[in-house]
Chains A and B, each alone.
Chain A
């Protein structure tokens, strides 16, 4: 637990989007992109994020399984 570090693989997409889209300093830029103003409390975005996250998790599991199989092959 101690020494736990915030590697991208350990953090959910949701946490990252919440931090970089919702938080961080808002400065007046020259361009206006509405994603920066999207509020994560909106249900439709939540559902969308959730499905993306599930997809990412499924891909991660798949790659872990491949690694595990390789490991078994070598032993």
Chain B
């Protein structure tokens, strides 16, 4: 299809969806990133680009660069982008694009699609009928460490050994003991999270282990000790969630408590990228 080019508007690109799915189930009218315009689905052969016209005044490179520094604006637009992805994901196989992927001309969008056609099709195939779920595990590390100090048999044994030493030696050994306690706590936390992860990998077709976010970022009073994204076939979602629920229940009854935060289904944000396929990041 030859898309219409309008020099007065830019084209904001949300996502790619397969044209056959779009034709069976056309996307209803909906306001776009620029509320003056509605969502436009542009079929380019077998790949349909979900776009929205945006005005030069609001979305030109110079204006946008200033706007993204305004957190309120960024929040509103990022949520809009995300909500669009969720809506699309509920109906179609969707490849989500990064926020603020904008084209001046639909001709260049068409050209990019043509260049990436094979990658796009292979991702459609990989993520079809799958959902991304994010699983985070938290614990209060200070409390965890204190409990290790009180209850761990290795620590108890070490303490008894220290008791039998001379005062001078005790000083150094106690210092070492503190390090040992911290190390044991880290080990136990890691082992716990790894065990959960191993189990989740049995159901997932792909995963990404993400960096743990600090308290100042999460705003929570406990510490994130696992942050993983999992790509799950739809038929495995129920068992995965039931497993997490069982672990959550088990953790509640344990001496060392862990809490779980599960969010999903997300569109396959973590599993749609071209970069792992020998492509360079652009734009």
Contacts and interface: CB of A to CB of B under 8 A. Distances in A.
Interface of A: 1-2, 4-6, 8, 10-17, 19-21, 23-36, 41, 46-50, 52-54, 56-57
B258 interface: no
B9 to A, nearest CB: 12
Contacts of B213: 14, 46
Interface of B: 10, 13, 16, 59-61, 64-65, 68, 71-72, 74-75, 78-79, 81-83, 85-86, 95-105, 108, 112, 116, 123, 134, 211, 213-214, 216-219, 238, 241-242, 244-245, 248, 262-266, 269-270, 272-275, 281-283
Contacts of A23: 96, 98, 269-270, 273
Given A8-B83, A10-B263, A28-B283, A47 B78 contact: no
B219 A46 contact: no
Contact of B101 (A16, A36, A49): A36
Contacts of B103: 29-31
A52 B262 contact: no
8 contacts: A4-B241, A14-B217, A19-B266, A27-B116, A29-B100, A33-B100, A54-B219, A57-B219
